[in-house]
Amino acid sequence: MAKLVFSLCFLLFSGCCFA
């Protein structure tokens, strides 16, 4: 569960960086 949340946060952070 924690891994899923971490992946989601990482994906969101990456999206903000590449936006």
Q: What is the pTM of this model?
A: 0.17
Using CA atoms, how far apart are residues 1 and 19, in angstroms rounded to an integer? 27
> Phi, psi (5° rounding) for residue 7?
-65, -40
With tokens 């569960």, the residue in question is 1
pLDDT in tens, 1-19: 799 999 999 999 997 777 6
Using CA atoms, how far apart are residues 2 and 14, in angstroms rounded to an integer? 18
The DSSP letter of residue 1 is -
Q: In this predicted structure, what is the pLDDT of residue 19?
A: 63
